[in-house]
Amino acid sequence: MKLNKNINIAIIGLGYVGLPLAILFSKKYKVIGFDIDSSRIDELKQNNDKTNEISSIELKYAIANNLDLTFEINNIANCNIYIITVPTPITVSKKPDLSFLEIASEQVGKILKKKDIVIYESTVYPGCTEEFCVPILENYSSLKINKDFFIGYSPERINPGDKINTIDKIVKVTSGSNRESSVFIDELYSSVITAGTHLASSIKIAEASKAIENAQRDLNISFVNELAIIFNLMKIDTNEVLDAASTKWNFLKFKPGLVGGHCISVDPYYLMYKSLELGYKPKVLLSGREVNEKMGKFIAGDIIDYLKLRNVFSKDIQILILGITYKENSRDLRNTRVPDIYHSLNKQFSNIDVYDPHADYDECFNNLNIKIVKDLNQYDLIILAVSHNEFKEINFSKLKKNDKSIIYDIKSFLDKNIVDKRL
């Protein structure tokens, strides 16, 4: 296998991961972006990316050159490299939901040809690609792995909303189903990833590397979240404690807060699933998840207690929540935990506004049952839930209804001098 001018790449799934990847590869190769959502294709053809990951200028240039877009599976039948980037969420019972992965594998299997390569980027548990995906490909193609076609796994590492650490500037872990395909896949990604690649010795190693990346971050945040709960009981400022501790060179300074999104709050469950399947009940992973899952309700409770302490507690007070997305400077609402705070407070208070300059109004209302306001008033309680850059420019004194108004900063984002309480 050698890289040549005849490489034709199909990217399956054009969301937060697939679209930036398609744009990147199109700078050097012929690429067809495929998505089953026809409205998504129409939107992109109009040079508009609702995720805000790709600018209209970038889209227009790519489409004018090496990038085609389609929702018809037959339009990618002549490609020889298929990269699958579909979502892998969890079910209500916290188990892996592989339905999107299954559908994508079936679709590719139906058009798979000899010598084709299928690369998976979706986050999965170790062993999933070979144990779950390969049999589907073989069944629908009537071809055999490593004889007729090859597979690889290269976990996505995109950080949505991050305009500095872009896809090409993050080291790419690669792997293949045999030595030949591994080298080819590594060279393929190396040709567009300026940060370089890391060739893992097996697909399972590559899968596991992704699973533990976010599990580690989840655990680190759960540790400081538990500290925040403890220090709250002690009536001391968690962030001041962290500032003091971080003066030592080897202290890892994570901050307390809500843990949501498409990866950190999901990936540990994939690792847990496989661990339980093998007969081991993970203790640390489970405890970390338990702490982080409860933080929204804890924060709501802490807010209520503080309102009572300050004699501001009343059903009719005006409340503002700043930010609803799962992270700063992103419109991504996937698994955001801010609604945990909103719905908990909504049981006690009747006037709660949510303001977010990044979030989509319809998506927020339809998916979260929360309305976003466009205009701000004056409030008795202001909760900084997401550290969007735009919130640094707000004149908070004008948002406060009176001298008794409270600012509660979940993210320790604002100037401490204007904040009444921090997590």
Which residue type, as a one-letter code, is found at position 381?
L
Per this entry, what is the length of the chain?
A: 423
CA atoms of 388 and 396, how far apart (whole Å): 15
Whether 79 is catalytic is: no
- Set 79, 128, 263, 364: catalytic member: 263
Between the CA of residue 208 and those of 124, 205, 217, 244, 345, what are the distances in Å? 8, 5, 15, 34, 38
Q: Positive or negative, the Cα torsion across 363, 369, 373, 376?
A: negative
Q: Which residue from 61, 68, 127, 71 is spatially nearest to 98, judged by alpha carbons?
A: 127
* DSSP string across 212-230: HHHHHHHHHHHHHHHHHHH
Work out the number of other CB atoms within 10 angstroms of the CB of residue 211. Answer: 23
Phi and psi angles of residue 291, each rounded to the nearest 5 degrees, phi first: -65, -50
**Half-sphere CA count of 298, side-chain side, radius 13 A:** 20
The amino acid that residue 420 corresponds to is D
Give yes or no for a contact between 158 and 16, defined as CB atoms under 8 angstroms apart.
yes
Q: Which residues participate in catalysis according to the annotation?
A: 263
